[in-house]
């Protein structure tokens, strides 16, 4: 359990206690700044272990490496903007940095900072970097911050951090038992959101960030698969060691899928593909002074890539589709999913509910998966990486 120097460090005590009460052994690594907010005796009493702070303590035991090597799970709560920056850069100037670098255990961070710091481009870039490396993120939540401030940046509640971290560990343990179970499989994944041009300046698009598709690519590669990623306007870095085909529109994605599908064993359509495109595209910018106070656009349907892929799949080739719906209830979501499965004809359909603040551009996901017969074969919730592994378990 890493604790860094933010006011939310007082809540880290409850996180430690939550793990201890569930029977886990907790070793606390607190930074020098963390101890300005919460006392070492408190952390030792709650964790029932000596709190480690100094990079140079127990050098003969190589403590700075041993802690990370022996860990089954690393949780950093709170994770300040500074600690996230150091994590992204791979710095090891203190005991916590060394512990993380010396460990192969899954890492969970619970960010906590003021809204302006969370929204700063530097923090956004650092979060994208650590997420692309498989670090799982819980929170932050919206609420009261230090002083009179209120907004996004509040550390997730201790019980939520404990539950989330244990789900990440469970998913990681299941994968490590068969870490090369997809060796020899060729997996084609689509990710991101397509854009349909209106003119040289504007387009019709959607809010997909590509995080879930990228997480699937990272997870599949870690399990031995050869992965090709068809990427449409990703907001996160494409993972290293994976072939990437960049596309823009639905038509370009269709062409890429048709070209690559025959050479793949599995196709996972995680991208958000536009259902419609403008009937005509202006060669010059559409100007308000030439259209008047209103503008009417005629849209035409795009080809259904998932239907085409399902129909052209060869025997034994697995096709997995995604369906993002704005259903009000879980039952309504399943009803929409079963109707869509009848139309699409794929092997599995991953359902998730989306809205103004859920589904798109978030670090976590909640899904249900239907098979060809409409049976619910999987429910998963957690970081997009842990959800990706749950989906890939269907292929094992």
Angle at 319 between CA 316 and CA 322, to 5 degrees: 165
Asked if residues 184 and 206 have their Cβ atoms less than 8 Å apart, the reply is no
Give me the residue label for tokens 């940095």: 97
Choice between 161 and 356, residue whose per-residue pLDDT is larger: 161
16: three-class secondary structure by DSSP: helix
pLDDT recorded at residue 290: 81
List Cβ neighbours of 48 (8 Å cut-off, separation of 6 or more): 20, 26
186-395 matches 2-176 in CATH topology: yes
Given pLDDT bands bounded at 50, 70 and 90, which one contains residue 157?
A: very high
User: What is the rounded CA–CA span in Å between residue 203 and residue 54?
Assistant: 54
Closest CA to 182 of 131, 142, 242, 222: 222
Q: Which of 206, 302, 352, 365 is catalytic?
A: 206
Give the integer Cα–Cα distance in Å for 83 and 65. 19
Residue ranges of the domains in the chain? 2-176, 186-395
- Residue 173: pLDDT over 80: no
Give the Cα separation of 375 and 193 in Å (integer): 28
Encode pLDDT of 189-230 as tens digits: 999 999 999 999 999 998 898 989 998 998 898 888 999 999
Residues paired with 318 in a beta bridge:
266
Residues 9-64: tens digit of each pLDDT: 999 999 999 999 888 889 999 999 999 999 999 999 999 998 888 777 766 555 66
- Which residues contact residue 233 at a Cβ distance below 8 angstroms, ignoring those fewer than 6 apart? 192, 193, 194, 195, 205, 210, 248
What is the model's pLDDT at position 151? 85
Report whether pLDDT(85) > 90: yes
Cβ count within 10 A of residue 302: 18
**Token digits of residue 362:** 């978030």
Catalytic residue at 49? no
State if pTM tops 0.75.
Answer: no
Task: Bin 97: left if φ > 0, else alpha if -120 < ψ < 50, else beta.
Answer: alpha
Does domain 186-395 correspond to CATH entry 3.40.50.10300? yes
Instruction: Please name the residue that has the structure tokens 């303590």.
Output: 57
Average predicted confidence (pLDDT) for the chain: 89
Domain 2-176 -> CATH class: alpha beta
Question: What residues contact residue 362 under an 8 Å CB cut-off, 6+ apart?
Answer: 211
Which residue would you say has higher pLDDT here, 298 or 63?
298
Q: Percentage of residues in the chain with pLDDT exceeding 70?
A: 94
d(CA 198, CA 202): 5
Structure tokens at 74: 């690393």
Which pLDDT value is given to residue 176? Answer: 53
């Amino acid at each position: 359990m890493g604790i860094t120097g933010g006011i939310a460090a007082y809540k880290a005590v409850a996180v430690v206690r939550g793990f201890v009460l569930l029977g886990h052994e907790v070793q606390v690594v607190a930074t020098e700044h963390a101890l300005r907010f919460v006392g070492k005796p408190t952390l030792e009493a709650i964790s029932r272990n000596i709190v480690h702070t100094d990079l140079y303590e127990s050098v003969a035991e190589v403590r700075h490496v041993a802690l990370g090597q022996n860990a089954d799970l690393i949780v950093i709560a709170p994770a300040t903007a500074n600690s996230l920056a150091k994590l992204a850069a791979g710095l090891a100037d203190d005991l916590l940095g060394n512990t993380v670098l010396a460990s192969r255990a899954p890492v969970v961070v619970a960010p906590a900072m003021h809204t302006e710091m969370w929204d700063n481009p530097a923090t956004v870039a650092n979060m994208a970097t650590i997420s692309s490396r498989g670090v799982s993120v819980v929170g932050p939540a919206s609420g009261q911050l230090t002083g009179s401030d209120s907004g996004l940046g509040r550390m997730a509640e201790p019980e939520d951090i404990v539950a989330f971290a244990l789900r990440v560990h469970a998913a990681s343990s299941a994968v490590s038992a068969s870490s090369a179970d997809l060796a020899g499989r060729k997996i084609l994944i689509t990710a991101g959101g397509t854009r349909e041009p209106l003119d040289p300046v504007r387009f019709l698009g959607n809010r997909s960030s590509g995080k879930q598709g990228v997480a699937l690519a990272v997870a599949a590669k870690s399990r031995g698969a050869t992965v090709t990623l068809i990427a449409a306007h990703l907001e996160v870095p494409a993972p290293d060691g994976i072939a990437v085909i960049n596309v823009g529109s639905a038509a370009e994605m269709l062409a890429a899928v048709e070209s690559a599908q025959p050479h793949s064993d599995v196709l996972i359509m995680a991208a958000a593909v536009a259902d419609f495109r403008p009937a005509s595209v202006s060669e010059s910018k559409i100007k308000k002074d030439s259209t008047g106070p209103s503008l009417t656009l005629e849209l035409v349907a795009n080809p259904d890539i998932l239907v085409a892929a399902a129909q052209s799949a060869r025997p034994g080739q697995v096709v997995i589709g995604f369906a993002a719906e704005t259903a009000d209830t879980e039952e309504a979501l399943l009803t929409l999913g079963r109707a869509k499965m009848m139309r699409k004809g794929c092997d599995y359909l991953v359902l998730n509910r989306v809205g103004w603040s859920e589904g798109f551009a978030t670090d976590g996901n909640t899904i249900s998966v239907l098979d060809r017969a409409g049976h619910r074969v999987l429910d998963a919730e957690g970081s997009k990486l842990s959800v990706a592994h749950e989906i890939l378990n269907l292929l094992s």
